[in-house]
Structure 1
Amino acid sequence: MSTHRDHLAQSPTIPKVLTLPVGLVPSGVRTAALIQILNRVFAPELREGELDFLDGHVMRIGVDDARLEFRLTLAGTQIKAAPHGAASDLSIDGTVYDFLLLATRREDPDTLFFNRRLRLGGSTELGLYVKNFLDSVELEGRLGPLLKLMNCATDLLGRFGR
């Protein structure tokens, strides 16, 4: 049976020295930055109601090697921070590398979830909605220079991550 430790051993992980500065940034600031990016990137889908499945639900995103956690929900047509201490309906956990693989489309969501590189917990139905949404959205044209930066980070982690 695969454990959390086994998962980290098979994925390149961000060196701990790089996680220290991120840890100094208050979680509210990190969450606000992520929310701003997500709202901008997913603006068309938010307007069209394609993320309505998150309405009234809390999704927790855990980035294991960076020791980060985000709790998000949908309020109207915007992704927002979930109230502090809110229980999550769905959790998605993985390493920086695995989330970069997903964001850059180097791996499809099915492969990452099936191989337990990204792990889902909580509501299976909500998890399927998220996975199908991520699988259907075309991000390449929206990310611009951010995509190039994420590809470089993915290459670096793949080569030098522990």
Structure 2
Amino acid sequence: MLTPQQLLYPFTLPLRLVPSVMHSRALAAILNQVMKDAILEGDLDFLQGRQVAIEIDDLGVRYLLGLTNGRIQGHGNEAPADATIAGGVREFLLLAARREDADTLFFQRRLRMSGDTELGLYLKNFFDAFEPPARWLPLTQALERVASLRFPGAK
């Protein structure tokens, strides 16, 4: 039976071919829209001048994000991260779809944190408190459907 990594590997080819800075910038552009109100209210000020890496193990991709002048910025992987959050794509989907809270995912070691743990905890607490605006409900529902998919051998 195929593992989730084996099933997903062919679909990750475009991500692996595109320079990391490009998909980090694409993710930053999406997050700037989804989190626009939170950014304006200063909820992400703790990220100012800092960089957080998001590593999706089973896809083999790493996003590097930070906050500069009130905007989430995507960076290339040559820059060091102050904190790193790592896990599988399903765990990040569960978190984004709000089907699992960050505490549960970290406690079960399905998500891992390294580096500046204080920064990581601020980020975890932000995720716990963040409610996407209603206009993003279709995206949240789509994430919910994808997060519901079960792969053979998945947790």
Is the pair's TM-score, using the shorter chain for normalization, greater than 0.5? yes
Question: What is aligned with 1:27?
Answer: 20
Matching residue's letter, 1:65: D
Q: C-alpha distance in 1, partners of 2:56/2:93? A: 11
* CA displacement 1:58-112 (0-9 Å, x = unmatched): 1011011111111111101100123652211100001110000000111011101
Q: C-alpha distance in 2, partners of 1:144/1:35? A: 19
Unaligned runs of 5+ in 1: 1-8
1:124 Cα shift? 1.5
Question: What is aligned with 2:42?
Answer: 49
- Aligned partners of 2:28 and 2:72 also within 8 Å: yes
- 2:109 counterpart of 1:116: yes
Which stretches of structure 1, 4 residues or longer, exceed 6 Å deviation after superposition? none
- Aligned partners of 2:24 and 2:75 also within 8 Å: no
Question: What is aligned with 1:5?
Answer: none
The percentage of counterpart residues that share the same residue type is 44
Matching residue's letter, 1:34: L
1:54 Cα shift? 0.6
- Aligned partners of 2:97 and 2:140 also within 8 Å: yes
- Aligned partners of 1:140 and 1:147 also within 8 Å: no
Question: What is aligned with 1:66?
Answer: 59
- Aligned partners of 1:19 and 1:66 also within 8 Å: yes
Which of the numbers 70, 82, 91 marks the counterpart of 1:77?
Answer: 70
* CA displacement 1:1-40 (0-9 Å, x = unmatched): xxxxxxxx8xx55521222233233323312210111101
Q: Secondary structure at the match of 2:72?
A: strand
Question: What is aligned with 2:29?
Answer: 36
- 2:126 counterpart of 1:128: no
1:161 Cα shift? 6.5
Matching residue's letter, 2:130: V
Residues 161, 145 of structure 1: alpha-carbon distance in 2 compared, 3 angstrom cutoff:
farther
- 2:147 counterpart of 1:154: yes
Residues 21, 133 of structure 1: alpha-carbon distance in 2 compared, 3 angstrom cutoff:
same
Question: What is aligned with 2:90?
Answer: 97
Matching residue's letter, 1:15: L
Q: Secondary structure at the match of 1:144?
A: helix
Unaligned runs of 5+ in 2: none
Question: More deviation in 59-68 or 134-143?
Answer: 134-143
Question: What is aligned with 1:6?
Answer: none
**How many residues are treated as equivalent by the alignment?**
151
